[in-house]
Amino acid sequence: MWNQLKTVILLGLLTGLMLAAGYFIGGNYGLTIALAIAVIMNFGSYFYSDKIVLRMYKAKPAIKSEYPQLHKIVSEVSKNAGILKPKVYIVPTENANAFATGRNPQNAVVACTQGILKILNEQELKGVIAHEIAHVKNRDILVATIAATIAAVISYLAMMARFAAIFGGMRDDRGGNGLSLLFLAILTPIIAVIIQLAISRSREYLADSTGAEFTKEPKALASALKKLEQANKNNHIKFGNTATSSLFITNPFSAQGLVSLFSTHPAMDSRIKRLNEMKI
């Protein structure tokens, strides 16, 4: 319940930041432009991001005769979750990972890497699949799309403000000047990213707990996460884009040097601790 409420609050803050930036930069006209950009980008991201992501990671449909156990697990967990069975894809990489995509439960996809199928036992894999199906059930793809789109609009507005401040083509009619615009241009994108990543971490916690409820075995997912963290320390995905790292159950790219504030995922120790303490 807290993670759901936290998401609503953070999305509200992100939206407010976008509207405030649009108004500060261009008044009512800037506000209208910000809203229009957000609507257009949301529409495109929501309907086409799944196809883009699958192509980006060279994912192919998992043939049922070649991956019978994987299909069996996806079917069982989907039934427990009360949704249609998502399409199942395989990503050709030894990085041990999984992700879900698709604009709604009727058009969902669960993708597993070749690496994850090699290191997890059946119960651990079921825990991971349940986590991904929880993302589908909770409509996290939609939440992530909205957050990413609003953050992108804020970055666009900030870029406009930087040009205005540097070239002196715009002054703040509320008494500010180019320096205040430059301050806005630098600060707002940072705040937007921090809020966006906080939303991502909140949804990961929620998917962990929701997925554990589907399987009734939170310790199986905790065990899987521990194995994935160990396996992926020096085995990162060599293709794709770091902008999509929040989709995966663990960050598939090197996260060295990142503080927790700028991480797409909660600390693994914290996730494992919460799962081990769950009472179902």
**Of 66, 94, 122, 132, which is the active-site residue?**
132
Contact 99, 111 (CB under 8 A): yes
Question: Strand order of the sheet with strand 60-61?
Answer: 60-61, 87-91, 109-113, 98-101
Strand pairing partners for 98? 112
Is 94 an annotated catalytic residue? no
User: Do 131 and 249 meet the contact criterion of CB atoms below 8 Å apart?
Assistant: yes
CA nearest neighbour of 181 among 15, 30, 11, 16: 30
Helix (H) or strand (E) segment spanning residue 90: strand 87-91
| Three-state DSSP class for residue 27 | helix
Give the residue from 110, 103, 66, 70 showing the smallest Cα distance to 87.
110
Answer for the pair 62, 90: CB distance below 8 angstroms, yes or no: yes
Would you name the residues annotated as active-site residues?
A: 132
